[in-house]
Structure 1
Amino acid sequence: MTDFWLASGLLLLVALSFLLIPVLRGRRAQQEEDRTALNVALYQERVAELQAQGAEGVLNAEQLARGRDEAARELLDDTENAEPLRSARLGKALPILAAFLVPAMAVGLYLHFGASDKVALTQEFATAPQSLEEMTSRLERSVAAQPDNAEGLYFLGRAYMAQERPGDAAKAFERAVGVAGRAPELLGQWAQALYFANNKQWTAQFQALTDEALKADPNEVTSLGLLGIAAFEGERYQEAVDYWNRLLVQLPQGDSSRTALLGGIERAKEKIAAGEGKGSAAVATASAASLTVKVELADALKDKVRPDDVVFIFARAASGPSLPLAARRITVAQLPIEVVLSDSDAMMPNMKLSNFPEVQLMARVSRAGQPGKGEWIGRSSPLPSDTRKPQHLTIDSPDNPDK
C-alpha cells in the first residue's frame, strides 16, 4: 500500500502544477504590466519637460523633435521584451483554493468509491499463506470486499470445511449458489456441509439437494460420496457400496482418495457378509450375480497406447439401457488383469447385473478418461448374467461408441 499512496501523491503533485503554474504566470505578467506603466509615465514626463523647454526657448524645434525621438526609443527598448497582456484572468484566490480542494476531493472520492482494500488484498495474496487460519482470514476479507465473487465464496466454504466449521461452510456455499446458480458441484458441497453441521442426521433437504445435483450431473463426486456416507451411517451398507463404486469410477488411478474409498467399500462388504445392516438378506440374494473376466491388450496395439491411459472394464445390458451396470477403472500399465464384476460394483442401485438376464462385457481404452468414449475397445458376445465361467476379453478394435 505504501507504493500505491506514493504513486498517488506524485500524480496529485502533477495535478497541482497545472493549477499553480497559471497563478505564478499571472504574478509575472502583473510585474511586467507594472514596469511598462512606469516606463510610459517616465516617457510622458520626459516629453512634458522637452515641451516646457521648447516653450521657454531653451530648445529649438529641431532639438525638441530629437529629444522626443530619443525618449520614444528608450520607451521602446524598455517595453519590447514585455509579455503581452492576457484579457482573461482567474484571479489569485480561485486557483489557490482549487489547488487544495481538488486533491482533498480526489482522496475523499477514492476512499468512498475506490478499491484500496482490494489493492491490499491483491498484494497480500501474492505471498503464500503460512497457515490454514491465515488463508481463511484472507478469504473472509476477499469475500467482504467482493460479496458477489462466487469463486471466493466457494474456496471460503472449502476452507471452513477443512477447519471443521461445517455451519459456516454451509452459509458460504449457500451464498455461492445464490451468486453463481445451482451448479451441481455447489449443490453437492452445500448438502455435505449441511449434513455435517446437522450431526450427520439425514433430512429431506439434503436428499433434495443431492437429487438435484445428480440429476444435472450423474457423476457429481461430492453427492456420490455423501450419499455413500449417509447410507453407511444408516446401516444401508449395500447402498453405500453402490454409491462409492460409482464414485470410484470417476477418480483417477493416482487419486489419494481412492485408498480411503476402497477401505470404506471393503468395510461395507464385510458388514453385508456378516448379515448386518438393513435388508441384508435381500442384498445377499441379489448379490449372487457376478462375472469374472480377464482383460488383455492385443499385441498390435501395445505401441499405440501409453501406460497411463485409462481402461474402463464394464458390463452392460445386452438389450436395454447402454449405461454400465458394473464397472472398474484401471490403467493400461495394469494389463493383463483379472477382475470380478458383481452387483456390488453397480453404478446405480436399481440397475444391477442381477436385474438383466443377458449382459455384454466391454473394455475400453480412453486417453481422456471418459467412460463412454475412447480410442480402442474389446467386446464379448452376450452372455447370461449368472455365468460362473471366467471370461476372456481382448482389446483389439478401434472404438466406435455407436456399436
Structure 2
Amino acid sequence: MIDFWIGAGLLLLAALAFLLLPLLRGRGVQAEEDRTALNVALYQERLGELAAQQAAGTLDSEQLEAGRADAARELLDDTEGTTPTRHNNHLGRVVPLIAAILVPLVGYGLYLHWGASDKLQLAREFTEQPATMEEMVGRLERAVKAQPESAEAWYFLAKTYMNRERPADAATAFEQVVKLAGRQPELLGQWAQALYFAGDRQWSKQLQQLTDEALRGDPHEVTSLGLLGIAAYEEERFAEAIGFWERLVATLPAEDPSREAIQGGIARAREQLGETAPASVTKPAGEMVAETGAGLTVEVQLAAEVVDKVRPTDAVFIFARALSGPPMPLAVKRITVADLPATVNLSDADAMTPQLRLSNFEQVRLFARVSRDGNATRGEWQGSSEPLAPDDADAVKLTIDQPVAP
C-alpha cells in the first residue's frame, strides 16, 4: 500500500501548488507595493525639507526647483520595473489558505467513505499463495467484511469453514449466501448439512424444513438426500435411510465412483434390518479396497484399565476422519465390546456420502469409540491414531484407553 499513499501524496502536493503559488506570488507583489509606498513617503519628506530651506532663506527658487527635480528623478529610479499598484484584498489571501487546509482533510474523509483501500489490499493478497489454511481463512473473512454483498465470497468462506471443521461458522456463512443468492436447492442442502454437524448431529424442525424445501425445488438434490439418509441411519431408521440413499444412487451418473460407496451404506442398512443385500451391491471387502485404491486395516483392543468399565453389549464404532476436512466420518464400522480384540477393514465402501471418501483425502485419523447407547456421536471411551495416509498398507493398532469428553 505504500506506493498507493505515495501517489496520493504527490497528487495532493500538486493540488496544493495550484492553491498556494498564486498566494506566494501575491506576497511578492505586496512587497513591491510596500517599497513603492516607502519611496513616495521619502520623496514627500524631501520636498518638505526643500520648502523649509527656502522659507529659511538658504535656497533660492532655482535651487528649490533643482532639488525637486533631483528628488523626482530618484523616485522614478526607485520605482522603475515595479508592478502597478493593486487594491489589497485580505479575503484573497485567506481563502487559499483555508482551501489548502481543507483539501487534504476533505479528500481523506471522502476516501475513507467511498474509497477501497481494503479491497485493493485484498486483491494483492489473493495474488499470492497463502502459507497456511489459517491465512486463507483470514483472507476470506476480510473479503466478506470488505464485500458483504458478495455471495461468492460468503460461499467460499462457508466451504472453507466446513473443511476446517467449523460447522457453526459455516452455517452462519451459508445463511448469508442464501440471503444474497436466493433459496437455491443446492445451497439449502449445504446449509442444512452445516447446521446438522453444528448441532451435534441432532435432527431438528429447521433441518427438516430446509431439506424439504431443497427437495421440492430439486428432487435429486444430492446433499439433502445424503444428509437425510445419514440422519435416518444414525437414528436407526434404516428403512428410511435405504429409501433416501436409493434415490441418491439413482440420481448419480452410472460412471460416478461414489455410487458404490452409497450402495455399501444401503447394504449395511439392509443388514441391520435382517435383509440380504442384492448381489449387485454386495462385494468382498478386499475387492472393494482394490477397486477404490484406499483402505486401512485396523486392530482394535481395550486397555486393561477399561475392561471392567464397559459392558460386552456396548457398541464400538471404528471410523476414519479427515485430518483437514469436515467433521463427518469418512468410513465407519460397528462391532461390540464382546468382539474385541478385533481386526476390521475401512475403505471407500464404508463411506456414508459419495462426496466424502477415504480416497479423497491425503491424511486421516482413526478412532475407536465405545458407546453404551449405540450413538456414534457420543460415547464413554475411545482411542485414536496419529495422522496417516488412507492407503497405508500396515495394520494400525488402536487401543481404547481415553475417556470421551462430555
Query: Unaligned regions of 5+ residues in structure 2, if any?
Result: 282-406
Superposed displacement of residue 193, structure 1 = 0.7
Matched, 1:235 2:230: no
CA distance in 2: counterparts of 1:47 and 1:183, whole angstroms: 100
Matched ranges for 1:279-294 at <5 A: none
CA distance in 2: counterparts of 1:141 and 1:29, whole angstroms: 55
SS in 1 for 2:129: coil
Of 261, 265, 272 in structure 1, the residue corresponding to residue 262 of structure 2 is 265
Q: Is the 8 A contact 1:51 1:64 kept in 2?
A: no
Relative distance call for 1:218 and 1:69 in structure 2 (3 A) is farther
Matched to 2:62, the amino acid is: L
- 1:364 aligns to what? none
- 1:192 aligns to what? 193
CA distance in 2: counterparts of 1:163 and 1:209, whole angstroms: 23
CA distance in 1: counterparts of 2:238 and 2:201, whole angstroms: 13
Matched to 1:239, the amino acid is: G
Relative distance call for 1:159 and 1:84 in structure 2 (3 A) is farther
Superposed displacement of residue 50, structure 1 = 7.6
Q: Which TM-score applies when normalising by structure 1? A: 0.55
Matched, 1:248 2:252: yes
Superposed displacement of residue 15, structure 1 = 3.0
- 2:221 aligns to what? 220
Superposed displacement of residue 32, structure 1 = 1.0
- 1:162 aligns to what? 163
CA distance in 2: counterparts of 1:183 and 1:83, whole angstroms: 78
CA distance in 2: counterparts of 1:133 and 1:203, whole angstroms: 31
Matched, 1:59 2:56: no
- 2:41 aligns to what? 41
Relative distance call for 1:185 and 1:268 in structure 2 (3 A) is closer
Superposed displacement of residue 228, structure 1 = 4.2
Matched to 1:129, the amino acid is: P
CA distance in 2: counterparts of 1:44 and 1:279, whole angstroms: 129
CA distance in 1: counterparts of 2:18 and 2:157, whole angstroms: 47
- 1:27 aligns to what? 27
Superposed displacement of residue 136, structure 1 = 1.0
Matched to 1:164, the amino acid is: E
- 2:271 aligns to what? 276
Relative distance call for 1:90 and 1:279 in structure 2 (3 A) is farther
Matched to 2:246, the amino acid is: D
Relative distance call for 1:262 and 1:269 in structure 2 (3 A) is same
* Cα offsets for 1:48-93 (capped at 9, x unmatched): 6787899954529xx9599759936962883444155255333666
Q: Is the 8 A contact 2:246 2:266 kept in 1?
A: no
CA distance in 2: counterparts of 1:227 and 1:86, whole angstroms: 89
SS in 2 for 1:59: helix
Matched, 1:210 2:214: no
Q: Is the 8 A contact 1:188 1:209 kept in 2?
A: yes
Equivalenced residues, count:
273
Matched, 1:82 2:86: no
Superposed displacement of residue 159, structure 1 = 0.6
Superposed displacement of residue 13, structure 1 = 2.1
- 2:322 aligns to what? none
CA distance in 2: counterparts of 1:45 and 1:204, whole angstroms: 105
CA distance in 1: counterparts of 2:216 and 2:87, whole angstroms: 79
CA distance in 1: counterparts of 2:120 and 2:44, whole angstroms: 68
- 2:154 aligns to what? 153
Q: Is the 8 A contact 1:46 1:71 kept in 2?
A: no
* Cα offsets for 1:290-330 (capped at 9, x unmatched): xxxxxxxxxxxxxxxxxxxxxxxxxxxxxxxxxxxxxxxxx
Matched ranges for 1:98-137 at <5 A: 98-107=99-108, 110-111=111-112, 114-137=115-138
Report the aligned-residue RMSD: 3.9
Q: Is the 8 A contact 1:47 1:68 kept in 2?
A: no
SS in 2 for 1:90: helix
Relative distance call for 1:76 and 1:278 in structure 2 (3 A) is farther
Matched to 1:276, the amino acid is: E
SS in 2 for 1:270: helix
Relative distance call for 1:194 and 1:6 in structure 2 (3 A) is same
* Cα offsets for 1:122-179 (capped at 9, x unmatched): 3222212222221111112222333333222211110110011111111111122223
Superposed displacement of residue 211, structure 1 = 2.2
Q: Which TM-score applies when normalising by structure 2? A: 0.55
Matched to 2:248, the amino acid is: W
SS in 1 for 2:252: helix
CA distance in 2: counterparts of 1:238 and 1:122, whole angstroms: 47
CA distance in 1: counterparts of 2:46 and 2:108, whole angstroms: 58
Matched to 2:267, the amino acid is: E
CA distance in 2: counterparts of 1:247 and 1:73, whole angstroms: 109
CA distance in 1: counterparts of 2:87 and 2:146, whole angstroms: 51
CA distance in 2: counterparts of 1:12 and 1:86, whole angstroms: 31
Matched, 1:2 2:37: no
Matched to 1:32, the amino acid is: E
Identity %: 52
Q: Is the 8 A contact 2:222 2:248 kept in 1?
A: no
Matched to 2:238, the amino acid is: E
